[in-house]
C-alpha cells in the first residue's frame, strides 16, 4: 500500500515519542541542506523534516527544490527549533516529483492577489489560499449540516432551464444550433424548435421556482448549487458563475424567513470559528497587514475575528425599505451631497446607500424589508393595505458590512389570482410557468425562502476583499481561464 501516510495536521497535534511515520507533501523551503519545510495542504503549518548532514546523497539533496513533492519516512522527535514542538528526523527521502525551482512561479515571498489570480492553478499552494479554501469547504459542510439537522430535504434543481426565475433577463443561452446557419422561422426569428431541447434554454439564475415545488410537498427544502448570471458587472462582489444556497419553506411568513436567515448566518460563522480557528487567525493577520497600507479612515474599526464575534453576539437590525430611505434622506452624507446616486422612495438602493446603512449608521448587519414591488421579482407576496403608488412586497435583503447584499429573499405570493395579475403586469409568460402556477391551484400555502450568495458569505468570513479570491476559478466578464 502506497498511502500509509499521516497528514501533517494530525502529526503536528501528536506528541513526539520516537514514533515512525511517513509523510508526503510539497517542499516550501529547504535550508542549509538540512531543513525541509514540508506542506501537505492539511494545514498552513509546515512540518520540519531534518536531513542529517552526510546521510543523504548530494544528487538527492539537489533535487529538493521549492514545490518538489516528497515522501519521507522517519522518526518523530521533539524540536529544538522555535515555534514547533516536533520534527521528523528523516530515514528515507523519496522524490515523488521534481520541480524546476527557476520556472516555478511561486517564490517564497509575498505575491499580490492580482498576480496570484493569474496563476490560480497554483495559488492553492499559498498560505492565503490554503486558508481560504479550507474555510470555504468548512462553510459548505456547515450549510448541509444546518439544514440536515433541521430536517430539510436537499433538492438538486436543474442547471439547464427554459425559464428566467428572476425575470431580469441576465441569462446565458444554452444551445447547439450552429452560429453561421441558424435556422429561422417564417418571421425570420431564430427557430429554437430545431435546437437540442426543441425550445430556447439557458443556464439557471436561481433554483427557487423548482425549490417551491419541492417545499410544497416536503415542507422544507434547500438547494445548494451553481447559478449563472450574464450581468456585465465588473465588481469585487459579482461573478458570472457563483454558488447559491436557497432554502424554501412551506407554512412560513416573512418574519419566520428572517429568523431562519439570521440563525443560518450565525450558525455558519460559529461553525467556522470553532472548526477553522487557525486559518481564521491567519486570515485576520493577513487582513490587518493589508489594512496597514490604507489611510486611517479607510481601515476597519474591528479585526476579522472581532467582527465575526460581534455579528454573533448582536441582533441583525430590521427596518423597512421606507425607513431605510428615510434614514438616508436624513443622513449627513445625503445633506452634504456625498451620494453619487439619487435617493428617493422607489429607487433600487445602490451599493453606496447600502454601505451607508450598514457601515456608518447601524454598524452591523441589517435586514431591509418591504421593498417597492416595482423593483422586485414577480413571485414576491404583495403587501396589503399599501398607499396607492407605494405598493410594496414582502421582500427581505440582508446587508452585511463590507459586502452589501448577502441574502435576498421573500415571502411568496401564494394567492393564484394576485400572482397571475402580477405576472401579466411584469410580462412574465404564464403559459411557460404552468407548472409553477399549479402549486397555487393544488393546495397553496403561505411559504417563503431566500438565497444566500455562497461566495459573499465566504468573503465575509475570510475577510477577502475580492470575490475572485474565494472561488477556485472565477468566471467574470472577459475572463474564463482554467
74 binds, among ligand 4AD, Mg ion, none (CB under 5 to 8 A by kind): none
81: nearest Cα among 24, 32, 150, 134: 32
Of 18-26, 35-43, 172-180, 235-243, which part binds ligand 4AD (CB under 6 A)? 235-243
Closer residue to ligand 4AD (CB): 8 or 261: 261
Closer residue to ligand 4AD (CB): 11 or 165: 165
Q: Which helix (H) or strand (E) holds 228?
A: strand 220-228
Does position 455 interact with ligand 4AD (CB under 6 A)? The reply is yes
229 binds, among Mg ion, ligand 4AD, none (CB under 5 to 8 A by kind): ligand 4AD
The Cα 22–Cα 38 span in angstroms is: 12
Query: Do 393 and 366 form a contact (C-beta atoms < 8 A)?
Result: no
Does position 401 interact with ligand 4AD (CB under 6 A)? The reply is no
Closer residue to ligand 4AD (CB): 242 or 282: 242
Binding mask 163-182 for ligand 4AD (x = CB under 6 A): --xx----------------
First-last CA distance in the chain:
33
Cell numbers for 67, please give them: 514545490
Determine the Cα angle at 195 with ends 194 and 198, to 5°: 75
Closer residue to Mg ion (CB): 135 or 399: 399
Q: CA 293 → CA 287, 288, 298, 301, distances in Å?
A: 10, 9, 10, 15
Determine the Cα angle at 236 with ends 283 and 319, to 5°: 90
Closer residue to ligand 4AD (CB): 223 or 331: 223
Does position 407 interact with ligand 4AD (CB under 6 A)? The reply is yes
Q: 430 by DSSP, 3-state: which?
A: coil
Interface pick for ligand 4AD out of 28, 123, 134, 229 (rule CB under 6 A): 229
Query: Do 357 and 399 form a contact (C-beta atoms < 8 A)?
Result: yes
CB of 266 to ligand 4AD, least distance (A): 17
Instruction: Count the Cβ atoms, other than its own, within 10 Å of residue 296.
Output: 6
What's the Rg (C-alpha) of the chain?
27
Interface pick for ligand 4AD out of 204, 456, 459, 461 (rule CB under 6 A): 456
Scanning the structure block, which residue is given the C-alpha cell 450552429?
Answer: 178
Closer residue to ligand 4AD (CB): 49 or 406: 406
Q: CA 320 → CA 130, 334, 361, 368, 419, distances in Å?
A: 40, 19, 15, 5, 23
Considering only residues 236 through 255, tell me which ones interact with ligand 4AD, judged by CB under 6 A: 238-239, 242, 244, 246
CB of 197 to ligand 4AD, least distance (A): 22
246 binds, among ligand 4AD, Mg ion, none (CB under 5 to 8 A by kind): ligand 4AD
Does position 192 interact with ligand 4AD (CB under 6 A)? The reply is no
Q: Which residues bind ligand 4AD (CB under 6 A)?
A: 165-166, 206, 208, 229, 231, 238-239, 242, 244, 246, 405-410, 449-451, 453, 455-456
Amino acid at each position: 500500500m502506497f498511502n500509509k501516510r499521516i497528514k501533517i495536521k494530525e502529526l503536528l497535534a501528536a506528541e513526539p515519542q520516537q514514533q515512525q511515520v511517513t509523510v508526503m507533501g510539497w517542499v516550501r523551503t529547504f535550508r542549509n541542506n538540512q531543513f525541509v519545510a514540508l506542506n501537505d495542504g492539511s494545514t498552513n503549518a509546515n512540518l520540519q523534516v531534518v536531513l542529517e548532514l552526510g546521510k543523504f546523497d548530494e544528487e538527492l539533496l539537489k533535487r529538493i527544490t521549492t514545490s518538489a513533492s516528497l515522501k519521507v519516512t522517519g522518526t518523530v522527535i521533539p524540536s529544538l527549533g522555535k515555534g514547533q514542538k516536533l520534527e521528523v528526523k528523516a530515514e528515507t527521502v523519496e522524490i515523488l516529483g521534481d520541480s524546476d525551482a527557476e520556472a516555478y512561479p511561486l517564490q517564497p515571498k509575498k505575491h499580490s492577489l492580482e498576480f496570484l489570480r493569474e496563476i490560480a492553478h497554483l495559488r492553492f499552494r499559498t498560505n492565503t489560499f490554503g486558508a481560504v479554501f479550507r474555510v470555504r469547504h468548512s462553510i459548505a459542510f456547515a450549510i448541509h449540516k444546518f439544514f440536515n439537522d433541521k430536517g430539510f430535504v436537499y433538492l438538486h434543481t436543474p442547471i439547464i432551464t427554459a425559464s428566467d426565475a428572476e425575470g431580469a433577463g441576465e441569462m446565458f443561452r444554452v444551445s447547439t444550433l450552429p452560429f453561421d446557419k441558424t435556422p429561422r422561422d417564417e418571421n425570420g426569428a431564430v427557430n429554437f424548435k430545431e435546437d437540442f431541447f426543441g425550445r430556447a434554454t439557458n443556464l439557471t439564475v436561481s433554483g427557487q421556482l423548482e425549490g417551491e415545488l419541492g417545499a410544497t410537498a416536503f415542507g422544507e427544502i434547500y438547494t445548494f448549487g451553481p447559478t449563472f448570471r450574464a450581468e456585465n458587472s465588473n465588481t469585487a462582489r459579482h461573478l458570472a458563475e457563483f454558488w447559491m444556497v436557497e432554502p424554501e419553506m412551506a407554512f412560513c411568513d416573512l418574519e419566520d424567513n428572517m429568523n431562519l436567515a439570521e440563525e443560518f448566518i450565525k450558525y455558519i460563522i460559529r461553525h467556522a470559528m470553532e472548526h477553522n480557528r487557525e486559518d481564521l487567525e491567519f486570515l485576520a493577520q493577513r487582513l490587518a497587514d493589508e489594512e496597514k497600507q490604507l489611510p486611517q479612515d479607510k481601515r476597519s474599526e474591528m479585526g476579522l475575528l472581532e467582527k465575526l464575534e460581534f455579528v454573533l453576539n448582536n441582533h441583525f437590525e430590521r427596518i423597512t425599505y421606507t425607513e431605510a430611505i428615510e434614514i438616508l434622506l436624513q443622513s449627513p452624507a445625503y445633506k452634504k451631497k456625498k451620494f453619487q446616486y439619487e435617493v428617493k422612495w422607489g429607487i433600487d438602493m445602490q451599493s453606496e446607500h447600502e454601505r451607508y446603512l450598514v457601515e456608518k449608521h447601524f454598524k452591523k448587519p441589517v435586514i431591509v424589508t418591504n421593498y417597492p414591488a416595482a423593483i422586485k421579482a414577480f413571485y414576491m407576496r404583495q403587501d396589503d393595505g399599501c398607499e396607492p403608488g407605494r405598493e410594496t412586497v414582502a421582500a427581505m435583503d440582508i446587508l452585511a458590512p463590507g459586502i452589501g447584499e448577502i441574502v435576498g429573499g421573500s415571502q411568496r405570493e401564494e394567492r393564484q389570482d394576485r400572482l397571475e395579475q402580477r405576472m401579466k403586469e411584469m410580462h412574465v409568460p404564464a403559459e411557460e410557468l404552468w407548472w409553477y402556477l399549479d402549486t397555487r391551484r393544488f393546495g397553496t400555502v403561505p411559504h417563503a425562502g431566500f438565497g444566500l450568495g455562497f461566495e459573499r458569505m465566504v468573503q465575509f468570513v475570510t475577510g477577502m476583499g475580492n470575490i475572485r479570491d474565494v472561488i477556485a476559478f472565477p468566471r467574470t466578464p472577459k475572463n474564463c481561464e482554467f
